[in-house]
Amino acid sequence: MTTPGSPLTLATIIPCHNSAVTLARAITSALSQPELDELLVVIDASHDDSLRIAQRFEQDDSRVRAIDVATQGGPAQTRNFGAAAATSDILCFLDADDEHLPGFYGFAKQVFATLPQWAGLKCGTEIVDLPEGLSLDDTDPRYDGVLASAPWNLAVRKPVFWMAGGFPQGSVFRGKLGGEDLALNRALRHNFDVAFTELKFCRHYNRPGSHLEQYLRRTSVVDGSVVFATSLPEELDGSMDLALSQHVERAASNQSLQSLQKTQT
């Protein structure tokens, strides 16, 4: 953490479970940006070459730390481990099969340095590798919803990340909705000021059967509105709505930095 008046520092956290095929691409996309100060690659009990790949980058670049977690805990726990280990002022999260595009980290640092009222920043995203018959671009009403709930296009001040509760790890969040991502983003959006730029600083590669793909398959756009064809069990029984509301309420009770609180209108 920097001292008052010194330049802000930025860390990116990559959670990785058996993603050796794409991990080097993700790491390279982050390291290619000189504004990056730390890269924490958290290996979540992988059985492939993911750890060795991360360690090779660690040997070549002092910004990289490879953290090996012996017991698989899932993406929420893995991201939280990385956030706890980071020493930087700003946190970004990058999936092991995605890319952060040039300019993102510099843009984020500039926003947070010049506009202290902003607690977080979300950026536009290129979404690729969707299967035939599915599409999503920035003219689709579902695009904004996807970006609002995603972790990979987020930069956030580290204290605010923890005040917002981090990524919750309860079992209710481990379903087909990607609930831990929804919870963090909703807590940030409801309790703090989060800026948005249409600039596409992230490239998200769809994985077969992903949360995104399932969302697109069970929704359509009718007269400009998103319509759900089916609902998931956790939506029908209300358990997800309750868990999300509780997470948002806990984040509201954690607010302690007046300059970072959501502006009241």
DSSP 186-254: HHHHHHB-EEEEEEEEEEEE--TT-HHHHHHHTEEEETTEEEES---HHHHSSHHHHHHHHHHHHHHHH
Q: Percent of the chain, pLDDT > 90?
A: 75
Mean pLDDT on 73-85: 95
- Taking the domain 10-256, which CATH number applies? 3.90.550.10
Report percent pLDDT > 70 for the chain: 91
CA distance 181 to 48: 26
Phi, psi of 112 (to 5 degrees): -70, -30
Place of tokens 């479970």: 17
For 33, list phi and psi in degrees, rounded to 5. -100, 115
Q: Residue 153 — pLDDT band, cuts 50, 70, 90?
A: very high
Give me the pLDDT at residue 173, please. 74
With a cut of 60, say whether residue 263 has pLDDT above it: no
Neighbours of 240 (CB within 10 A): 20
- What number is the average pLDDT over the span 227-243? 77
Q: Which residue did the predictor score with more confidence, 257 or 236?
A: 236
Which residues are within 8 A (CB) of 117 and not within 5 positions of it... i.e. 6 or more apart? 193, 259, 260, 263
Contact by Cβ (8 Å): 211, 150: no
**For residues 87 and 154, what is the distance between their CA atoms, to the nearest angstrom?**
18
Cα 157 from chain centroid (whole Å): 13
Between the CA atoms of 134, 137, 141 and 145, what dihedral angle is there, to the nearest 10 degrees?
90
The alpha helices in the chain, defined as continuous H runs, are 20-31, 50-60, 74-85, 104-114, 141-149, 158-163, 179-191, 211-217, 233-236, 239-254
Determine contact, residues 169/74, Cβ cutoff 8 Å.
yes
176-214: pLDDT as tens digits = 555 899 999 999 999 999 999 999 999 999 999 898 999
Structure tokens given for 59: 């040997």
Both tokens of 87, joined, read 């020493």
- What is the average pLDDT across 156-181? 84
pLDDT in tens, 129-143: 999 999 999 999 999
For residue 265, the model assigns a pLDDT of 29
